[in-house]
Every structure is written in structure tokens, then in C-alpha cells.
Amino acid sequence: MVPTADHFDVVVIGGGPGGYAAALYGASAGLNIALIEKRWIGGTCLNVGCIPAKELLETAHVHRTVTEAASFGINAGEPQVDWSVTQQRKQAVVDELVGGVTTLLKGRKVTVYEGYGRLHAGRTVSVDPSDGSDRFEVTGDAVIIAAGSETRTIPGFDVDGTVVMTSDEVLSMPEIPGTAVVIGGGAIGCEFASMMSDMGSQVTVLEALPKILPGVDKDVTSMVERSFKKRGIEVRTGVTVTGHEPGDGGTVVNVEGADPIKTDVVVVSVGRKPATDDLGLDGTQVQLDERGFVQVDEVCRTGEEGVWAVGDCIATPALAHVGFAEGMVAIDGILGEDARPVDYGKVPWGIYCRPEVAFAGHSEQSAKEAGLDVVASKHRFTANSRAKIIGDQEGLVKVIATKTADGKAGTIVGVHMVGPWVTEQLGQGYLAVNWEATVDEVAAFIQPHPTLSELFGDTVQDMTGRRLH
Ligand code: FAD
Ligand code: NAI
């Protein structure tokens, strides 16, 4: 007989953003919570995702700043890279943030079990401790599955961690490669292509679809593609890769109907898969869809009474902040409160390549596909004073609004941005879209001068028919 350790208000399986958000938020509401984590608190995001990826992109930014310093009259010479220090700094940032979440969990008296969790009937969760000790069981009035996602690859590209890598390995690679082929031009592919190129690699991006960055407005994507090209990053779209032939120190990637590409490393970034292969689920009504995602309703409830699922293991945008939001929705539901569903079409997205991309709501294309009659306005950073001051004028702001009966711009349904620090500028665009604000309402607000965010104000004002700049 497997011993039952304890009973909790909520048992959470997985300690990534979805799971730890549920635990912290639930504990702050007075719930007694257990969290089971098989490997590392913070999950993908803190350990092999958002945080280390952005930290390395920041290193690339510093490299660029030093390279361009002479134009400001600061002669710093050619930047010399000490990649081991780069790696140490990245790991220190990760470790501090993981430590911070661990401390928060402890402070809120969340019981953390280091081990592998599986759900069984009656909201019983078995735990196989990571230290190899005997399996035990915990039970909960409610259970939240937050098992997250894992890297995936494609046939012909077995991951060996040195020549063929996924994001997991790229983040810890021992040196910057001379040449890199990135398969998949989504968020991960573009961030790594940008980072490696800024650090001196010759990068080729191979994307199967006709354009990179799926879901992003075409004007924004075109600007990223143009910028990549200017910096020597080759982007090939509509490409089929068939495999690779390893040679001395590198490999040759075979591309259907085109010349093979010799490269030091291959980065496979073709999407991720839910980590749901071995979650137990016997004797429960929790269902997986054909791709392995846990099926939930609009407030994250599974088919099993008292069992919720959140984060990358459900088929919603795979973003840390969406995981946070879903964790809180699940807790609100568990508390018997009126849980407000996440409006997935309006969540904020930030992609931290150079130039940065940020958006919320419809692109012009998706608005039209949804049958909306829309008008769009776009303005470039070229004439923005702060962009000139910082020496980074590449980018634009595009606002998409419904068309009123008299042909004017009405409610803002999408804000898409590309350019300097747009991930930090999206806030007011996100609010406008989610508040369903009109162009007239937003245009009445003023922007501080000189700021990059003036461009958002200018773009919205232009849609009223009047303009300043
Ligand atoms: P995860 O973070 O995957 O966490 C799940 C946790 O559950 C893991 O710790 C795992 O060990 C544990 N677990 C799984 N199964 C079990 C089990 N049976 N028992 C016990 N424990 C288990 N998102 C953003 O919003 N912004 C970004 O800038 C961003 N950048 C990214 C960059 C990269 C390279 C990658 C790969 C992802 C990035 N993401 C980003 C996505 C983000 O990391 C994920 O959306 C987020 O981590 C999902 O959180 P989660 O809690 O659902 O899953
Ligand atoms: P993705 O789904 O965003 O992009 C994968 C890309 O690979 C797509 O463009 C797809 O068409 C392409 N592709 C698929 N198979 C291919 C093949 N055989 N050959 C060539 N191209 C192929 O997935 P990605 O970039 O791996 O990221 C996974 C998720 O992680 C993202 O969807 C996002 O939710 C999250 N993420 C978020 C970031 C952010 O918010 N800044 C950064 C990185 C990841």
C-alpha cells in the first residue's frame, strides 16, 4: 500500500509559471497548497526559456552598444567577448530568480515536493521523489495540472546537443558558433538568430511557411525580415529541410530543391509539445486532445470534477504570463469565485529579437479574416526624436481600428509594434485593445516628450484625421 502523506486544499503538478503562479496566488488567498516539481522551480521560463534567452539577447545588445559607441564619441575599440563570463552572468540571473520564487513559496507556506507527480482517481496524486525514496501519495480538494511543455524536433534532425540543438542546449552552448542554421522562424528561432548574429555568427533561418513569425502583422514581419537581411541574416521561407549529413566539426543541411548548407550548428526551433505523456490520469475524466494538450473549458476546468489544467500543457498561447493568468483563473474557480476567462486573442506578445516585436489584438490580416471592417494607420520611428537620440530608428507602430459608419476609425482592435524597446512600450496598446477604447478616447491622452511612446500617440492621433508630427 502506498502511504498517503497529506491532504491539501490544492495539489499543483509542475512548478513553472502556471504552477507557481497558482501556488503563490492560492496561498495568498489562504489556501493550503502542495506543489510537486520533478526538476526545477521556475520551469522552462526561468531555467531554459524566457529569462536565459532574454539575458543572452541583452548581452548581444551590450555588444552592439560597444560596437556603435564610437559614433557617440566613445572610443571603446572592438568588443572582446568572454563567453564564459556571459554564461556565468546568465546563470547568476537565472539562479537568483529561481531562488526568489523558492523563497516566495516558502514564505507563503507552500509545501514543495521534489518528485514526479501523476494524477489518479479521487484527486490523488502519486509522487515519485527525485531522491529515489519510496513513492507516496497526496490528495487535494482540487488539483491543478501545470506540467508545461518540452522541446521537439523533426525527422532527420536528432538532437545531439552539440551540432543539432534545441533551445535547451543553445542557451548553454560553450561558444558562439561561426555559422548556424536555424530551422523554424517563430519566436525562438528569431530571438536566437538575432542574438547569434549580433554576437558574430553567420546565420541562416529556414522557415517552412511563406513568412516568419506566425500571427504577427505582415508590415511588422517585413520590417524584421528587412532588418535581418541588412545585418546579413539570411531568411529563406517556404523551405523544406530533409535531413543533414554530419562532417568534420559541423554538418550539411539538405534543403529540398536548393543547394545544401554547410554549418557549424543547427538550431531546431519548430515549436514545442505538451509534457503530458506520463501524467497517470487513470480512472479520471481528464482528456488529452490528439496533440497531447489537456482539454479544458474557458476557465481551465478539465473533464474531471475538481481538476484544472493551466499553462503550456493546454492549447492556449504558450506564454509565461498566460500561464500566470490561467493559474489565477484556476484558483478563482477553486475558491468558488466568478473566474474571468482569459481573452486569448488579446494577450500581449513580446518577441525580443532585434528589432523587437510586440503586439496585442488583431493584425490587419486577422481582423479582415475575422470579417471586421477595419482601418489601419502606421508610423515609423524614423522621425521620432528619442529614436534619433538613441540611434535606433528602425521600426514602426501600427494601429488597427474598426471602421465606423461614416468611414472613420472607431474601436482599437489591434496594436502591433516593431522597433526599439517596443516590448516595454506595448502597455498602453494592450490596455487600449483590452479596454476596447476608441481612437478618439486614446488620442485625447498626452505622451511624455521625448519618448519612443510618442509614436503610439502620433499613430492613434493620425486616425482621428488630425495630426501634430
Ligand atoms: P513550464 O515552464 O514548462 O513548467 C512546467 C514544470 O512542470 C517544469 O518545471 C517541469 O519540470 C514540471 N513537470 C512536468 N511534468 C511534471 C510531473 N509529472 N511531475 C512534476 N513536475 C512536472 N514566454 C514568454 O511569455 N516570454 C518569453 O520571452 C518567452 N521566451 C521563451 C524562450 C524560450 C527559449 C522558450 C523555450 C520559451 C519561452 N517562453 C516565453 C515560453 C514560456 O517559457 C512558457 O510559456 C512557460 O514556461 C510555460 O509555463 P508552464 O508553467 O506552463 O510550463
Ligand atoms: P513557434 O510555433 O512560434 O514557431 C515555430 C516555427 O517553426 C513556425 O514558424 C513553423 O512554421 C516553423 N516550422 C515548423 N516545422 C518546420 C519545419 N519542418 N521546417 C521549417 N520550419 C518549420 O515555436 P517556437 O519558436 O519553437 O516557440 C515555441 C513557443 O514558445 C512560441 O510559440 C511562444 O509561445 C513561446 N515563446 C515565446 C517567446 C516570447 O514571448 N518572446 C520567445 C520564445 C518562445
Question: How many domains are contained in the chain?
Answer: 3
Q: What is the pTM of this model?
A: 0.97
Residue 469's pLDDT is what? 80
Atom of ligand 1 at shortest range from CA of 312: 52
Torsion of CA 63, 66, 67, 68, to 10 degrees: 120
Dihedrals phi, psi of 463, to nearest 5 degrees: -75, -15
Q: Is 272 in the pocket of ligand 2 (CB under 6 A)?
A: yes
CA–CA dist 55, 402 (Å, integer): 38
Residue 247's pLDDT is what? 87
Q: Is residue 424 part of a domain?
A: yes
Ligand 1 center–CA 401 separation, angstroms: 34
In a mutational test of the pocket of ligand 2, which residue from 56, 164, 239, 270 has the highest number of ligand atoms less than 8 Å from its CB? 270
> Do 137 and 210 belong together in one domain?
no
Ligand 2 center–CA 184 separation, angstroms: 6
Q: Which domain holds residue 133?
A: 4-151+274-344
Q: Is residue 253 part of a domain?
A: yes
Q: Is residue 156 part of a domain?
A: no
Q: Is residue 456 part of a domain?
A: yes
Known catalytic residues are: 449
Q: Is residue 259 part of a domain?
A: yes
Q: State the chain's mean pLDDT as an integer.
A: 97
Q: Is residue 216 part of a domain?
A: yes
In this structure, the residues whose C-beta lies within 6 A of any atom of ligand 1 are 13-19, 36-40, 43-45, 49-50, 53-54, 116-117, 146-149, 167, 188, 275, 279, 311-312, 318-321, 323
Q: Is 274 in the pocket of ligand 2 (CB under 6 A)?
A: no
In a mutational test of the pocket of ligand 1, which residue from 44, 56, 152, 326 has the highest number of ligand atoms less than 8 Å from its CB? 44
Does the pLDDT value for residue 321 go beyond 90?
yes
> Do 258 and 326 belong together in one domain?
no
Closest CA to 418 of 235, 271, 227: 227
Q: Is residue 407 part of a domain?
A: yes
Nearest CA to ligand 2 atom 36: 187
Domain stop point among 270, 287, 315 = 270
Q: Is residue 419 part of a domain?
A: yes
Instruction: Produce one character per residue of 333-355: b if its CB has 16 or more CB atoms within 10 Å, e if not.
Output: bbbeeebeebeeeebbbbbbbbb
Ligand 2 center–CA 307 separation, angstroms: 29
> Do 15 and 123 belong together in one domain?
yes
Question: What confidence tens digit (pLDDT) does each residue in 84-135 have?
Answer: 999 999 999 999 999 999 999 999 999 999 999 999 999 999 999 999 999 9
Question: What confidence tens digit (pLDDT) does each residue in 159-218 have?
Answer: 999 999 999 999 999 999 999 999 999 999 999 999 999 999 999 999 999 999 988 999
CATH code for position 185: 3.50.50.60
Domain stop point among 293, 317, 344 = 344
Ligand 2 center–CA 175 separation, angstroms: 24
